[in-house]
Structure 1
Amino acid sequence: MRVVVGECQVDYGGRLTAHLPMAKRLILVKSDGSVSVHADDRAYKPLNWMSPPCTMTVVEAEGFDGLSGVELDPRIREVWVVKARNGDILQIGLGCIELDRCIELGVDPGLQKDGVEAHLQALLAENPDTFGEGWTTVQREYMTAIGPVDILARDADGGYVAIEVKRRGEIDGVEQLTRYLELMNRDPLLGQVRGVFAAQLIKPQARTLASDRGIDCVVVDYDALRGMDRAEERLF
């Protein structure tokens, strides 16, 4: 991973446009090729980013003719041009750099699910009709370039659905599923993939963010899936 702290101007062009004026920020270039720009707040989301696969070119600021209509701050010394396959461009103009360091993190073992969460995932994979009639499980731990999706399923219409399973549903879980969906929707073999965020309890903030991202939320009953909660034995 390359870690850079310094003054930068950030412009995004393509399906949408965005501009961040010159300010001191943190830039991360990860081994998977992703580039993200962070402020000293908003812990769960960068200010702007480009997901892999993408390419990055570094050019001198002098004489550089970048995104149409974008004027570079005179303090900029070099420009990072990050291009995605779909033609989107993330343009980062760098001025004074205070830190530029490469750090080898090694292979990450990934998030270790606790016993309940792992069992919940297995039960949902065995009982895909929890999400709707006619649903089928395609694969557990479906691998993407940034990690495994808990369950890949098909709905009653045959469409692919990525399901992220948590014991307690919070904002970071929604963000995790969002990143998976962004990659999976670039795969022509899958086509349009929608997302389902499943948990025993989903916090209101996570539900709001999921709704904004077009992700469905499903609250699941762990005891019922285990066969311990028998409806015919209930008094109420």
Structure 2
Amino acid sequence: MRVLIATCTVDYSGRLSAHLDPAKRVIMVKADGSVLIHSDGGSYKPLNWMNAPCSIAVDEPGESEEFDGVTQVWTVQAAKSDDRLVIRLHDVVADVVEDLGIDPGLVKDGVETHLQQLLAEQVPQILGDGWSLERREYPTPIGPVDLMVRTPRGAPVVIEVKRRGGIDGVEQLTRYLSLLGRDPLLEGISGVFAAQEISKQARTLAEDRGIRCLVLDYDAMRGFDDPESRLF
């Protein structure tokens, strides 16, 4: 990654034309060759950019450009089109090159597997005294159900856990219940659809099919939230 802070002008030509007058900006050149020009506002979106694959040619300024204070001219040319980005550098405040290495990728907090694990560990606390966990990833011919639990009277209940509960999740749980309901050892099986958020449409469909909906408080399950200390 190369990051420059410099006064520059930018001209883009291709499907349309655009021009940026002289101003101090951040120019990022990523390892894949893509180039992005940022201002001090506008959130994450760059003012202009060129996606990889592309090539960068650095040239000395012409006589008229040098008279205007240009020190370098970058021509960024797209490899598969006529799109071109011309960056004319004036004063360079900073020029940093750093190898960022391989990024491990985004790890989302509160993913389904962690919710499933926490719910499995807290079945009696969340579902009620006497409820017990029979198994996680209970197998079916069309894939495993997240949790198989038992009520205080021993009745089987399957739980499908989602981060955000939509109609697709209810349909998935319905298919599991249809298959498992044919097993005489699971007579009277019912289902619980559990998620951090459940859409109105999913709740309506679930309740119409006799499926209980359960909203999970992820912070409380992790012990990061004390419901008794809330104002609302």
TM-score (norm 2): 0.51
- Is the partner of 1:41 in helix, strand or coil? coil
Q: Distance in 1 between matches of 2:97 and 2:53?
A: 20
Q: Which residue of 2 aligns with 1:2?
A: 2
Aligned-residue RMSD, C-alpha: 3.3
Q: Which residue of 2 aligns with 1:31?
A: 31
Shift of 1:223: 4.7
Give ranges in structure 2 of 5+ residues lacking alignment: 115-141, 143-162, 174-191, 194-205, 213-232
Structure with higher Rg: it is 2
Q: Which residue of 1 aligns with 2:18?
A: 18
Q: Distance in 2 between matches of 1:220 and 1:78?
A: 54
Q: What is the number of residues matched between the two proteins? A: 136
Q: Which residue of 2 aligns with 1:107?
A: 102
Amino acid at match of 2:30: K
The change in CA–CA distance for 1:112 and 1:58 in structure 2 (over 3 A counts) is same
Shift of 1:113: 3.1
Contact (CA 8 Å) 1:9, 1:73: kept in 2 or not? no
The change in CA–CA distance for 1:45 and 1:117 in structure 2 (over 3 A counts) is farther
Q: Distance in 2 between matches of 1:72 and 1:14?
A: 26
Contact (CA 8 Å) 1:5, 1:97: kept in 2 or not? yes
Q: Distance in 2 between matches of 1:45 and 1:86?
A: 22
Q: Which residue of 1 aligns with 2:221?
A: none
The change in CA–CA distance for 1:75 and 1:118 in structure 2 (over 3 A counts) is farther
Identity %: 44
Amino acid at match of 2:13: G
**Which of 166, 170, 179 does residue 220 from structure 1 map onto?**
166
1:55-114, Cα deviation, whole Å (9 max, x unpaired): 0000111158xxxxxx89812111110011211001110000010110111110011134
Structure number having the greater helix percentage:
2
Contact (CA 8 Å) 1:22, 1:73: kept in 2 or not? no
TM-score (norm 1): 0.50
Amino acid at match of 1:88: D
1:83 corresponds to 2:77? yes
Q: Which residue of 2 aligns with 1:149?
A: none
Q: Which residue of 2 aligns with 1:55?
A: 55
Q: Distance in 1 between matches of 2:43 and 2:23?
A: 18
Q: Distance in 2 between matches of 1:54 and 1:22?
A: 24
Give ranges in structure 1 of 5+ residues lacking alignment: 65-70, 120-125, 127-166, 168-199, 201-218
Shift of 1:116: 3.2
Q: Distance in 2 between matches of 1:221 and 1:111?
A: 26
Amino acid at match of 2:34: S
Shift of 1:118: 7.0
